[in-house]
Amino acid sequence: MSNMYILKLDKLEAGDIFLTAQKGIVSKGVKVFTKSDYSHAMLYVGDGSYIHSNGKGVHSGSTQRLTFNKPEYIRVLRVTSAFNAKSVCDYARREIGKEYSVKEALKTKNKLSQKKPENRQFCSRLVAEAFKYSGFDLVNNSHYCSPQEIDNSVHTIEVKDCIKLMTGVDIEHEKSDSPIDRQTAVTNEILKAARNITKSDIQTLEGLTEFIISNNEFDNDISGIIENSGFLTFSDDDKNKNPWRYNSDIFVNLSAPKIEIRKHAKFEVESSKSRIERFGNMLTQYESLHSRYKLRFTSIHVDLYKKLLAMSLLNLKTAQEVVERT
C-alpha cells in the first residue's frame, strides 16, 4: 500500500484555508481554467472539521478523512490580519446545504461583479464570503474569485509542517465508518423535497427554519419529511458504528501506540467541548422558538439537540477517562 498523507490537527486553527489539488481530469481542468495551482478551497472550522462547496453542495467533512497521495496536493493558508474566526466559521455552517453552481464558478474568469450573484455557492466564493461576512476582505471580489486569488492574497501565509504520514490511530479512524456522506445526502434530500413542496428557493437548513416559522401551513409536511429521512438518528448511527468514542475501554484498546491514543483523546476532549457549546446554543434557540410557535418542526429539533448534547457530553466523559488512563 502506498503512503498516504494527512493534516496534523494540532497545527490547525479555526479560519485556516485548505487549497487542494489531486490527480484527475476535473482537477486539472479547474486549474487550467482559473490559472491556479490548486483546484479546490476549503475552510477549516475547528474540531477536526472543514466546510466546502463541491458538486454535492455546501457540506462539512472530517480532516481525519482528508487524505492525499502526495504532500504537494494540499496547501494550508492562515490569514495574518485580525479577523473574527467565530463569525467566519458560523457563516460557513449556515451555508450548509446550499446548492453548487458551475455557472457561477465559471463567472470568476470574467469577474462579473456588476451582476448580483445567484443564491448558490462554489468553493472559493464560500471561503471568501465567509471572511467578507465577518467584515474582512480576503480578496478584491468575494463573489467571484479563484483558489489562486486566495493563495495570492496579501493577507494569507502558508502554514508549514502541518502534513504527516498516516499512521496508527489515523488509519484506524480513516477506516471507521463515516456518517458524513449519508448526512450530506439526507440534507440534500430534505432541502430538495422542501423546495418541491413549497415552490420556494430554500437553500439551507437555517433558511428552512425561517420559512417554516413564517409559513407554518407547511409544518406537518416538512416535519414528516425530516422524521422519515434519518436526519434525526445520525447520532445513534455514530454510537453504533464508532463505539470507541463513547466507551473508554474500547478507546484505550485501539490498535495504536498509547501516545497516539492519548493525543487523539485530548483532541476528542476539545472537540466535544466545542460541540457542547454549539449544540447547547441550538437547543436554547429551538426551545425559544417552540415556546413561541408550538410547531411540530420546532419540537423535533428540540428533541434532536437534546440528544446531540447528551451524546457530546458522553463523548467528553469518555475522552477524559482515556486521557487519565493513558
Residues 195-237: pLDDT tens digits? 999 999 999 999 999 999 999 999 999 999 999 999 998 888 8
Residue 273, all three cell numbers: 467541548
Q: Are 22 and 31 in contact (CB under 8 A)?
A: no
Task: Give pTM, 2 decimals.
Answer: 0.86
Q: Are 103 and 34 in contact (CB under 8 A)?
A: no
Phi-psi region at 287: left, alpha or beta (left = phi > 0; alpha = psi -120 to 50):
alpha
CATH code: domain 5-164 is 3.90.1720.10
Residue 263, all three cell numbers: 493525543
pLDDT of residue 45: 95
- Please, which pLDDT band fits residue 69 given cuts at 50, 70 and 90? confident
pLDDT of residue 225: 97
Q: Are 43 and 127 in contact (CB under 8 A)?
A: yes
DSSP code at position 68? B
Handedness of CA 27, 56, 84, 62 (dihedral sign): negative
Residue 16, all three cell numbers: 485556516
Check whether 170 has a pLDDT greater than 80. no
- Please, which pLDDT band fits residue 177 given cuts at 50, 70 and 90? low
The whole-angstrom separation of Cα 156 and Cα 154 is 6
Give 314: exposed, middle or buried? Use CB within 10 Å, 0-12, 13-18, 19+. Answer: middle
Distance from chain centroid for Cα 13: 14
With a CB cutoff of 8 Å and minimum separation 6, the contacts of 209 are 289, 297, 301
Check whether 320 has a pLDDT greater than 80. yes
- Please, which pLDDT band fits residue 117 given cuts at 50, 70 and 90? confident
Domain ranges of the chain: 5-164, 169-325
Phi, psi (deg, nearest 5) at residue 46: 90, 170
pLDDT of residue 215: 98
End-to-end CA gap in the chain: 30
Question: What is the arithmetic mean of pLDDT over 102-117?
Answer: 71
Strand order across the 17-20 sheet: 57-62, 49-54, 40-46, 17-20, 74-79, 156-158
The whole-angstrom separation of Cα 257 and Cα 168 is 7
Question: What is the arithmetic mean of pLDDT over 167-185?
Answer: 72
Q: Are 256 and 168 in contact (CB under 8 A)?
A: yes
DSSP code at position 204? S
- Please, which pLDDT band fits residue 238 given cuts at 50, 70 and 90? confident
Q: Are 98 and 121 in contact (CB under 8 A)?
A: yes
pLDDT of residue 23: 58
**Model confidence pLDDT, tens digit, residues 128-146:** 999 999 999 999 999 999 9
- The mean pLDDT of the chain is 89
pLDDT of residue 190: 97
